[in-house]
A and B are shown apart, each in its own frame.
Chain A
């Protein structure tokens, strides 16, 4: 695997264009080809973005966890995994936010409210904050950053099923039958199912493209930090060679003799 990019530049371009084209196809499928829902009418079309966005968020956090675990395992330890974990988490947070916003926009016409204390909504909100914290931790430089971040990512990842289970349990204690009904999901029109499948495919392409982009940026940033450090050291060494005392000269110059 090359160090500075995940995909060959030409492959990345192809993935980028296919992502764009498949999103355009998704728009046509979702807005015109797929029939309106019998009950929710056109509002249901938000599903073709909402569900793929949620899928992408879970995929991204899964990749973050995998990258972190592979970084921590000594035999596969490499900055490549750390960069993949970080890049993927950023995409995941953006798409978790998108999932929440789209869900809220969908909930307003269908349920009549922007937010409900439904198990999935609460879990997604907690998920969002878990990884916002992880990204905040990633922004802090210093030795051991990659190890620190990898362990934090795994702590967060382990928490997700516990949060989901506890919230699910909490809400089902109080209300019977949530809005998300498994039987309704099963009875889905063929064209609708295809559109949804297409959406998941398109968003996966978007994920691959963005992951590669973010990975390149991280590699460039790390390269810049290293160059700056080397330059600072070089300047320090050079200034030390000009006078006999180096830094001591600067201190003495102001003092009366």
Chain B
């Protein structure tokens, strides 16, 4: 079996579990939307403020939802000793990492589309350069999924993982939050600066942590 096929197997498994349980769709997505709504309560709902800070609020909502998606992705592995099954399956650990990260990324992409629509609708922003927005979102999602999967498996066997993963993950993805927000500000026509250098930074981050994940996942899966 080549690497790609193994990746698709693991990603397919996780997405199939999601398609049957609908936890992301029925729990994580409404959570993200209520966060978007709460921001409007917290800030002045007169349209100027919300539209100005919309990119930042959108990415904060995505990161909070991503924490739940990561937690869910490794919760399914703790039940019925599924992690032992994964270890004994003979799959390449790098493929397991890419598969799980890929499944998280797909779920995050769906979330981002829904939350983006919510933000555009509720905060009254117009999508100026769609290409920039999509490129930034893809790179940022890959980075969040890679780091999230790494910390997810790191904390998978621990009883305190629900509280530990946010503490570990949020500081590490601080540059993603920063880069994605700046790129989206440019993409929504809120800042005069060029957004593409930020997309390059996001892509660098995603590449770096995907490489680390592929290297380190084996020993983490073995020892966790």
CB closest residue in chain A, given B161: A140
* Docked-complex contact A143 and B168, CB < 8 angstroms: no
How many residues on the B side are at the interface (Cβ–Cβ under 8 A)? 33
Cβ of B106 < 8 Å from any Cβ of A?
A: no
Task: Describe B's contact surface by its main secondary structure.
Answer: helix
* B202-223 interface (Cβ within 8 A of A): 204-205, 208-209, 212, 216, 219-220, 222-223
A154 to B168, CA, bound (A): 13
List, in ascending order, chain A residues with CB within 8 A of B178's CB: 166-167, 170
Quick one: given A148-B223, A158-B208, are A142 and B175 in contact (CB under 8 Å)? no
How many residues on the A side are at the interface (Cβ–Cβ under 8 A)? 30
* B29-61 interface (Cβ within 8 A of A): none
* Docked-complex contact B224 and A140, CB < 8 angstroms: no
Interface, chain B (partner A; CB < 8 A): 147, 150-151, 154-155, 157-158, 160, 164, 167-168, 170-172, 174-175, 178-179, 182, 193, 197, 201, 204-205, 208-209, 212, 216, 219-220, 222-224
* Docked-complex contact B208 and A126, CB < 8 angstroms: no
CB closest residue in chain A, given B177: A166
Quick one: given A129-B171, A130-B171, A170-B178, are A151 and B220 in contact (CB under 8 Å)? yes
* Docked-complex contact A147 and B219, CB < 8 angstroms: yes
The smallest beta-carbon distance between A142 and chain B, in angstroms, is: 7
A-B contact count (CB 8 A): 82
* Docked-complex contact B175 and A152, CB < 8 angstroms: no
Of the candidate stretches A80-88, A105-113, A131-139, the one touching chain B is A131-139
List, in ascending order, chain B residues with CB within 8 A of A148's CB: 154, 220, 223-224
Contact of A159 among B157, B175, B201, B204 (CB under 8 A): B175
List 6 other contacts, CB 8 Å, given A137-B168, A167-B178.
A133-B171, A136-B167, A136-B168, A140-B164, A151-B219, A162-B175
A143 to B151, CA, bound (A): 17
Quick one: given A136-B164, A163-B174, are A142 and B220 in contact (CB under 8 Å)? no
